[in-house]
Amino acid sequence: MTSISQAKRYIVCLGELLIDFVPEVSGQPLSDVAAFRKAAGGAPANVAAAVAKLGGASRFIGKVGRDAFGQFLRGTLEAAGVEARLAVTDTAQTGLAFVSLREDGERDFLFYRAPAADMLLEAQELDAAWFADAAVYHFGSVSLIAEPSRSATLEGARRTREAGGLVSYDPNLRPALWPDADTMRREALAHIGAADVVKVGEEELRFLAETDDAAEAERRLLARGTQALVVTLGSEGCRVVTSSRAGEVVSITVSGVPVQAVDTTGAGDSFVGAMLHGLVQRGITPTRLAECLADEATVRGLFAFANRVGAITTTRRGAIPALPTLAEVEAFGGEA
């Protein structure tokens, strides 16, 4: 199998970095929550932290305000083992999100971003060297909502592709942040072809493809140019979908791990971090991605591990604070 050189091993994530205020008690609407606990969050930052805690090499690119929360986030990433390249702005504060948790661990959000500092990241603030030796570049749709972060996000993808790295995209749809559903769908879909691998949840898949037929939805998203589609199925696991050289769709389902969920915040991000870490460990490059993810043994080994990482994350509160180490995942069962 084609190997990624030791120098080309970093997983670079770009996007939002914010404070999640997570309730101390689950099962209450936001209006009734009496106490919150501060936790670092933001999907791409969670992915970078997940990679680092599993023993991988990760970098995060973003922007924070010149405030106490920005300092806290920088310290949290560094403590997790992430190389953080954070621009600082005096014109906006670090973003905040208040989260309410239902009894099943699912969430409702209230965001404070008008604008938040991460929305002001500019393409000219990107360090070209951080993309030249990137094995993977990962981004989401939140940083695509407004300029200048939109251009910065897409520039990161362009530079990684140019350098031969693999591009990963998780739309991670947050309707409350977009002007309307149609705009969100249009923008999220527009960049699927910029990525080699795209991760979506079941609801996101149906929303983006505008059909309840899962197989048809997967075909529609693959037709937009991505090599591989990874559909997360909650406690049921995930489904990995690729197109064979003959044009046939190859779909492999990997069962999930049953746990008692406390908080699903960051679970999808930890899954993505584990997936990307596994791809780099296996030396899977863009030219071999579709072939490798059509191989059942490779898929089952890689995604059984990613499912365990996501499951463990749901048993703890918060995002980055809930991410497991490699030792914890191995103790939970199985090997990477």
User: pLDDT at position 3, please?
Assistant: 41
Q: Around Cβ 75, how many Cβ atoms within 10 Å?
A: 12
Exposure string of 98-127, with b = 16+ CB inside 10 Å and e = fewer, is bbbbeeebebeeebebeebbbbbbebeebe
Mean pLDDT of 17-23: 89
Q: Which tens digit of pLDDT belongs to each residue from 99-129? A: 887 666 566 788 998 899 999 999 999 999 9
Least confident window among 2-16, 48-62, 204-218: 2-16
Residue with tokens 């991505």: 226
What is the C-alpha R_g of the chain?
18
Mean pLDDT of 203-210: 98
Task: Report the predicted TM-score, pTM, of the whole model to 2 decimal places.
Answer: 0.94
Mean pLDDT of 176-195: 96
> What are the tokens at 190?
């527009």
User: pLDDT at position 114, please?
Assistant: 84
> Which has the closest alpha carbon to 263: 17, 52, 22?
22
Please give the class, per CATH, of domain 10-328: alpha beta
Q: Which tens digit of pLDDT belongs to each residue from 266-288? A: 899 999 999 999 999 999 999 99
Mean pLDDT of 160-170: 96
3-state secondary structure the chain: CCCCCCCCCEEEEECCCEEEEEECCCCCCHHHCCCEEEEEECHHHHHHHHHHHCCCCEEEEEEEECCHHHHHHHHHHHHHCCEEEEEEECCCCCEEEEEEECCCCCEEEEEECCCCHHHHCCHHHCCCHHHHCEEEEEEECHHHCCCCHHHHHHHHHHHHHHCCCEEEEECCCCHHHCCCHHHHHHHHHHCHHHCCEEEEEHHHHHHHHCCCCHHHHHHHHHCCCCCEEEEECHHHEEEEEEECCCCCEEEEEEECCCCCCCCCCCHHHHHHHHHHHHHHHCCCCCCCHHHHCCCHHHHHHHHHHHHHHHHHHCCCCCCHHHCCCHHHHHHHCCCC
User: pLDDT at position 336, please?
Assistant: 47
Least confident window among 46-50, 263-267, 325-329: 263-267
User: pLDDT at position 82, please?
Assistant: 97
User: pLDDT at position 4, please?
Assistant: 44
The mean pLDDT of the chain is 92
Question: Cis peptide leading into 175, omega within 30 of 0?
Answer: no
Instruction: Check pLDDT > 70 for residue 246.
Output: no
Residue 5 pLDDT grade (very low, low, confident, very high; cuts 50, 70, 90): very low
Kind of pairing between the strands at 249-255 and 166-170: unpaired
User: pLDDT at position 284, please?
Assistant: 94
Residue with tokens 């965001």: 111
User: pLDDT at position 245, please?
Assistant: 67
User: pLDDT at position 255, please?
Assistant: 96
Q: How many Cα atoms sit within 13 Å of 130 on the Cβ side? A: 22
Exposure string of 257-266, with b = 16+ CB inside 10 Å and e = fewer, is bebebbbbbb
User: pLDDT at position 109, please?
Assistant: 82
Range ranked top by mean pLDDT from 13-17, 33-37, 287-291 = 13-17
